[in-house]
């Protein structure tokens, strides 16, 4: 038996190709939206992977350091190091800010870390790790910085000595790694006017500037101008140790919150990007409905354009299933053309997006199945119209 749908598509391939192109671009947008969501999830996982930690110790009753702000004293890590099962513990600060690159601003997450400790960038694509205690930086390539360039952070310039890749915050901002002490200062340092004003206020406060207590005022002023806080302590547990077992005494005795990797993933994916995920899901639903409406409209219009031929086919005894099959196959064919164009389009334009767009094969397969189901459902309207055609239409009178 002749494949009527295939012949019709070949006969009017231009119409199908252009219709498929339009549908394909729409499918491409849908696949890209799914890719944006996957990219957000992947960014979150990359952030956790790159930190190289098994536990995140943060301020009690917070979801820090990524989903909420968290502040810890920077000597907490010493007591953590003393706990059984802990191999390494290190202070880390995170600060999302605009850093200067020439005349432009680059949005980046500035990470303060200690060389050789958890929190250090895992690998470099160029240059070297930070070896000095101050004013050196390692930047993600997405910041656009080159080796040897100067980064302006607050009032200091940092020289880029190394470049890394796929080091991003959960929001997709590229990271800039600088020494911990510099990062602490950058995070909490006030401008000179504010420091002078603070000193004057302290000096005029009689309870802080007591006569007969030498050095008190200077000590207070010094503490006001320095920062002894970090956002988190990253912990690596010893081989064979369960992170959860190590975390339990920290939560109980240290008045701190300790998150394992699984819990941190839950916070980042289920809580931090939950609203964005819902937003994208809404887009996907709307795009699916729009795609279905477009396919239904196109197939319906194409069928109406063939009413006379369908009447002739029915008159000469073509089975209803053959006619319905022809329309269904055309709808599926249109969906197939649209999907191929959409997949190719999404693959081409995904790298141009400012944030990471991850096109997964699994999503493509799910998308293909969804497109086929939508096309099949959308063709029912046209099939109904075709099956209602009176074969007498071919005779007239």
Partner 1 sequence: MQQKMQQTFGITIEGLSKRYGSGNAAVDALKDVNMTVAPGEVVGLIGPSGSGKSTLLKCLGAIIEPTAGRMTLGEEVIFDGGWKISDLKALRRDKIGFVFQAPYLIPFLDVTDNVALLPMLAGQPNAASRRRALELLTALDVAHRAKAQPSELSGGEQQRVAIARALANQPPVILADEPTAPLDSERALSVIRILNEMAQQYQTAIIVVTHDEKIIPTFKRTYHIRDGRTYEEAGEGRAL
Among 4, 72, 76, 359, binds partner 1 (CB under 8 A): 4
Smaller CB distance to partner 1: residue 76 or 299?
A: 299
Q: For residue 189, what are its two tokens?
A: 């340092």
> Pairing state of beta strands 175-179 and 104-113?
parallel
Q: Which of 252, 308, 355, 384 binds partner 1 (CB under 8 A)?
A: 308
Instruction: Give 15: exposed, middle or buried? Use CB within 10 Å, 0-12, 13-18, 19+.
Output: middle
Query: Binding pattern to partner 1, positions 39-58, x when CB under 8 A?
Result: --------------------
The residue from 148, 214, 316, 351 that contacts partner 1 (CB under 8 A) is 316
- Under rule CB under 8 A, residue 274 binds partner 1: no
Window 118-157: residues binding partner 1 (CB under 8 A) = none
Please count the residues of the chain: 397
301 touching partner 1, by CB under 8 A: no
**Contact window for partner 1 (CB under 8 A) among 8-16, 21-29, 168-176, 354-362:** 8-16
- Which of 312, 336, 372, 381 touches partner 1 by CB under 8 A? 312
Q: Which is nearer to partner 1, 74 or 309 (CB)?
A: 309
Using CB under 8 A, which residues numbered 11 to 30 contact partner 1? 11-12
Among 16-24, 156-164, 314-322, 380-388, the segment contacting partner 1 (CB under 8 A) = 314-322
Report if residue 299 touches partner 1, rule: CB under 8 A.
no
Question: Which contacts (CB < 8 Å, 24+ apart) does range 347-353 have?
Answer: 349/28, 349/32, 350/32, 350/35, 353/32, 353/36
Q: How far is the CB of 284 from partner 1 (least distance, A)?
A: 35
Which residue lies nearer to partner 1 by CB, 6 or 122?
A: 6
Minimum separation from the CB atom of position 329 to partner 1 (A): 13
HSE of 308 in the Cβ direction (CA atoms, 13 Å)?
A: 3
Q: Which is nearer to partner 1, 4 or 359 (CB)?
A: 4
Q: Are 173 and 108 in contact (CB under 8 A)?
A: yes
Query: How far apart are alpha carbons 262 and 259 in whole angstroms?
Result: 8
Least distance CB 309 / partner 1 (angstroms)? 6
* Closer to partner 1 by Cβ: residue 62 or 318: 318
Contacting range for partner 1; rule: CB under 8 A; set: 76-84, 309-317, 362-370, 381-389: 309-317
Question: For partner 1, which is the closer residue by CB, 217 or 315?
Answer: 315
For the beta carbon of residue 9, count every other beta carbon within 10 angstroms.
19
Which residue lies nearer to partner 1 by CB, 211 or 396?
A: 396
Report 366-395 residues binding partner 1 (CB under 8 A).
Answer: 390-392, 394-395
Burial of 382 (0-12, 13-18, 19+ CB in 10 A): buried
Among 1, 275, 351, 352, binds partner 1 (CB under 8 A): 1
75 phi, psi to nearest 5 deg: -105, 0
Q: 44 near 265, Cβ under 8 Å?
A: yes
Q: Which stretches within the chain are classed as H helix?
A: 4-11, 13-51, 76-81, 180-188, 192-203, 216-225, 243-253, 261-265, 274-304, 307-315, 320-349, 361-387
- Cα 341 to Cα 21, 265, 275, 331, 359, distances in angstroms: 6, 34, 30, 15, 15
Binding residue for partner 1, selected from 155, 201, 319, 355, defined by CB under 8 A: 319
* Residue 2 touching partner 1 (CB under 8 A): yes
Give the separation between CA 353 and CA 363, rounded to whole angstroms: 18
CB closer to partner 1, 30 vs 329: 329
CA distances from 171 to 9, 46, 108, 317, 363 (A): 45, 11, 10, 62, 22
Q: How far is the CB of 295 from partner 1 (least distance, A)?
A: 20
314 binds partner 1 (CB under 8 A): yes
Positions in the binding site for partner 1 (CB under 8 A): 1-2, 4, 7-8, 10-12, 308-309, 312-319, 322, 390-392, 394-397
């Amino acid at each position: 038996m002749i494949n009527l749908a295939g012949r019709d598509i070949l006969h009017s391939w231009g119409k199908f190709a252009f219709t498929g192109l339009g549908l394909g671009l729409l499918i491409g947008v849908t696949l890209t939206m799914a890719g944006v969501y996957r990219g957000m999830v992947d960014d979150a996982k990359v952030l956790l992977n790159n930190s190289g930690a098994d536990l995140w110790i943060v301020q009690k009753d917070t979801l820090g350091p990524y989903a909420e702000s968290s502040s810890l004293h920077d000597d907490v890590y010493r007591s953590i190091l003393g706990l059984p099962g802990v191999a390494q513990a290190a202070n880390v600060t995170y600060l999302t800010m605009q850093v200067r690159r020439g005349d432009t601003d680059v949005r980046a997450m500035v990470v303060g870390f200690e060389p050789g400790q958890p929190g250090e960038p895992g690998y470099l694509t160029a240059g070297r790790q930070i070896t000095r205690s101050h004013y050196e930086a390692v930047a993600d390539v997405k910041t656009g910085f080159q080796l040897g360039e100067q980064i302006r952070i607050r009032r200091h310039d940092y020289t880029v000595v190394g470049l890394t890749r796929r080091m991003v915050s959960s929001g997709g901002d590229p990271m800039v790694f600088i020494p911990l002490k510099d990062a602490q200062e950058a995070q909490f340092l006030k401008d000179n006017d504010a420091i002078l004003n603070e000193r004057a206020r302290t000096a005029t406060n009689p309870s802080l500037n007591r006569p007969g207590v030498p050095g008190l005022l200077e000590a207070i002023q010094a503490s006001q101008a320095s920062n002894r806080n970090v956002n988190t302590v990253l912990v690596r547990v010893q081989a064979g140790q369960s992170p959860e077992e190590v975390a339990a005494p920290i939560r109980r005795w240290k008045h701190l919150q300790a998150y394992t990797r699984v819990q941190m993933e839950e916070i980042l994916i289920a809580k931090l990007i939950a609203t964005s995920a819902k937003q994208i899901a809404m887009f996907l639903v709307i795009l699916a409905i729009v795609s279905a409406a477009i396919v239904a409209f196109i197939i319906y219009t194409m069928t109406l354009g063939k009413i006379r031929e369908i009447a002739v086919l029915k008159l000469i005894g073509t089975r209803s299933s053959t006619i319905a099959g022809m329309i269904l196959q055309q709808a599926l064919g249109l969906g197939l053309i649209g999907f191929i164009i959409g997949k190719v389009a999404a693959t081409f334009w995904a790298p141009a997006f400012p944030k990471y767009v991850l096109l997964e094969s699994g999503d493509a397969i799910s998308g293909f199945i969804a497109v086929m189901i939508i096309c099949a459902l959308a063709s029912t309207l046209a099939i109904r119209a075709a099956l209602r055609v009176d074969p007498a239409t071919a005779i007239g009178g």
